[in-house]
Amino acid sequence: MNAFDALTWLGHWPFAFLAERRAADLARHLRAHGIARALVSPLDAVFAPEPGPANRALFRAVRGVAALEPVPVINPALPDWRDQLQDCLDHAPVRLVRVLPSYHRVTLTGPAMAELVSTCRQRGVKLAIQVRLIDERHEHHAVSIRPPKVAVLARFLDAFPNAPVLLSGLLRTEAATLAAGRPHVRVDLAFVEWLDTLRTTLAAVPARQVVFASHTPFLETAAAPAKFARTRITPAAQRALLTGNLERFLSA
Amino acid sequence: MTVLDAHTHPHFREHRAGRAAADVFLREARRHGIEHVVALGDVLAFGRSPNADQLRSINDDTLWLVKRHPQQVTGFCYLNPTLGERAVWQEVERCVAVPGIRGLKLEVANNARDACMRPVMKAAERYGLVVLQHAWSMTKIKQRSFHTDPEDAVLLARRFPNVRVIMAHLTGCGVRGVLAARGCDNLVVDTSGAAPEAGIVAYAVEKLGVQRVIYGSDAPIRDFAVAIARITGAGLGRDAERRILRDNARELLRLP
């Protein structure tokens, strides 16, 4: 299959019995499911006071593992976010950074995000917005976290119509709503599902805006390639979703 | 490997495609190796508490499908227990007159611990029907007055030990739901619900035993291929996969 996975994680998650793998083990695990390359972000950045140490640990972990491309987490709700970004760019070639608005209380329509979008464009870095990590109905009882509202995401996207943005963790209807009429937006397939997922999705979202994602280790890795196993979309569309769209998004 | 899907909704009015959509649905199931499905009806077509006419309309679709595809479809009669004992018995007796109706489906009209469930369970006992009870952890949803938590589904099964109960939505019930189900031998859990969260199927097998886990997709809300991959991706081994994907449900439903 040789898929390019837009969403995987390394590190520890406190609220579920998830597999904790070393980078080389993650690469082998993905390879066994037909995933040749993957973007990987640090789970330990989600609840850390600031994401710097987790990002640096990620860079060290993936060094020498060619199949894994690091995607650091930036927290623009903190006053040092410019330093966080610079630190990442100093450590490794970075094509994408990830923002977790729900977990980091980031105001998507606020001035820090506006500056981050602008800075990323200047530095040739793309931006991923992690809309959800897990189904919000399954969050731990001690935490109160909900994904950003679709209307807020739409306002953010419309404020920067020329900024390429990858939306990760959208549900099917959210992906259709947010991708429609916004060619600068990409949506990943991790949480998108319906009977014959791909055909249903491509009926609502232009194929060039859709990218493959497994969301390993949160979701069963096998479930992501399974969406392609008996689909009736064209081989060309499958190739675009599996590899081409993400590569073009990152390289543009 | 052939598969038996214990949790599907072949009719879905949201598609506005009518009964023809159910034929398309069954063709899609066959394409994924699913030889038999349990059809539960379009249970939220009229909101969470349908009246008697609305229930009959939903069940008429299921009866039509069972008659049309007797080898491929088992039907469950959808009930609203809050309509009262007489309405429950009338609808059960109307449905079980059709061969291939092997169970009762409960959704979110009431909580499974409510007294109005008694005639439902008595009817299940009388006709040897399986009861599939929607369940989801209410930790975050906060609807327990009418929405069944896994502990409520287990309480229902314990109150009626002669009735076989399916607690729907393993992923929604989560670790707490699995732990609640331990030791309740007339209750099995189906693997449907939400995204394919890693680890929960293997956890259920470890805590409940492979014989108490059955495959369900919740299609068309979910993708057959993804739902099957929850099982085949869990690292359980071929024997356990076969039990979950086919044998357990076949025994539960007493299919040939």
Q: pLDDT tens-digit profile of A175-184?
A: 999 999 999 9
Give the gap in angstroms from C-alpha B140 to the nearest C-alpha of chain A: 5
> Residue B96 is encoded by which pair of tokens?
């079980």
CA dist B215 and B238 (Å) reads 14
Q: pLDDT tens-digit profile of A11-62?
A: 999 999 999 999 999 999 999 999 999 999 999 999 999 999 999 999 999 9
Look at the block and give the residue holding tokens 């007159």. B97
- The answer to whether B140 contacts A138, with C-beta atoms less than 8 Å apart, is yes
State residue A197's pLDDT score. Answer: 97
Mean of pLDDT values over B117-146: 97
Please report, in angstroms and rounded to a whole number, the separation of the first and last CA atoms in chain A: 24
Q: Is the pLDDT of residue B18 over 90?
A: no
- The answer to whether A18 contacts B199, with C-beta atoms less than 8 Å apart, is yes
CA dist A24 and A55 (Å) reads 17
A164 touches chain B (CB under 8 A): no
Measured between beta carbons, which residues in chain B are less than 8 angstroms from residue A19?
A: 198-199
Least confident of A65-74, A140-149, A164-173: A140-149
Give the gap in angstroms from C-alpha A175 to the nearest C-alpha of chain B: 15
Whether the complex's predicted ipTM surpasses the cut of 0.90: yes
Give the gap in angstroms from C-alpha A223 to the nearest C-alpha of chain B: 5
State residue A37's pLDDT score. Answer: 98
Q: Percentage of residues in chain A with pLDDT exceeding 90?
A: 96
* DSSP-derived secondary structure letter, A134: S
Distances (CA, A) of B40 to A21, A150, B12, B103, B251: 40, 31, 11, 9, 18
CATH number for the domain running over B3-253: 3.20.20.140
B28 touches chain A (CB under 8 A): yes
Q: pLDDT tens-digit profile of B213-232?
A: 999 999 999 999 999 999 99
Distance of CA A152 to the CA centre of its chain: 18
B117's enclosing H/E stretch is: none
Ranges of each domain in chain B: 3-253
State residue B11's pLDDT score. Answer: 84
CA dist B233 and B255 (Å) reads 27
**Mean of all residue pLDDT scores within chain A:** 97
Q: In which band, very low, low, confident or very high, does the pLDDT at B15 lie, cut at 50, 70 and 90? A: low
Tally: H helices and E strands in chain B: 10, 8
Give the three-class secondary structure for A165: strand
**Mean of all residue pLDDT scores within chain B:** 96
| Paired residues of B63 in beta bridges | none
Mean of pLDDT values over B145-150: 98
Look at the block and give the residue holding tokens 């076989």. B164
Q: Is the pLDDT of residue A118 over 70?
A: yes
Q: In which band, very low, low, confident or very high, does the pLDDT at B16 lie, cut at 50, 70 and 90? A: low
Nearest to B230 among A137, A141, A220 (CB): A220
The CB density around residue A127, as the number of other CB atoms within 10 Å, is 21
Q: Which residue of A has its CA nearest to B25?
A: A195
Q: Percentage of residues in chain B with pLDDT exceeding 70?
A: 98
Mean of pLDDT values over B188-200: 97
State residue B1's pLDDT score. Answer: 75
Q: Percentage of residues in chain A with pLDDT exceeding 70?
A: 100
Mean of pLDDT values over B59-78: 97
The residues, ordered by sequence, that sit 6+ positions from A98 with a Cβ below 8 Å of its Cβ are A41, A71, A72, A73, A74, A128, A129, A130, A168
**C-alpha angle with apex A73: A72 to A78, nearest 5 degrees?**
135
Nearest to B220 among A19, A195, A221 (CB): A195
Q: In which band, very low, low, confident or very high, does the pLDDT at B82 lie, cut at 50, 70 and 90? A: very high
- The answer to whether A219 contacts B195, with C-beta atoms less than 8 Å apart, is yes
Contacts 24+ apart (CB under 8 A), A111-116: A112/A76, A112/A77, A112/A81, A113/A76, A113/A156, A114/A159, A114/A160, A115/A76, A116/A74, A116/A76, A116/A81, A116/A85
- The answer to whether B230 contacts A191, with C-beta atoms less than 8 Å apart, is no
- Options 3.10.180.10, 2.30.30.40, 3.20.20.140, 3.30.360.10; CATH of A3-251: 3.20.20.140
Q: Which residue of A has its CA nearest to B195?
A: A191
A146 touches chain B (CB under 8 A): no
Q: Output b/e per residue, B184-201; b: 16+ Cβ within 10 A.
A: beebbbbbbbbbbbbbbb
State residue B112's pLDDT score. Answer: 98
- The answer to whether B219 contacts A134, with C-beta atoms less than 8 Å apart, is no
CA dist B206 and A103 (Å) reads 32
Q: Is the pLDDT of residue B19 over 90?
A: no
In SS3 terms, B163-232 reads as: CCEEECCHHHHHHHHHHHHCCCCCEEEECCCCCCECCHHHHHHHHHCHHHEECCCCECCCCHHHHHHHHH
Measured between beta carbons, which residues in chain B are less than 8 angstroms from residue A193?
A: 195, 221-223, 226
Ranges of each domain in chain A: 3-251
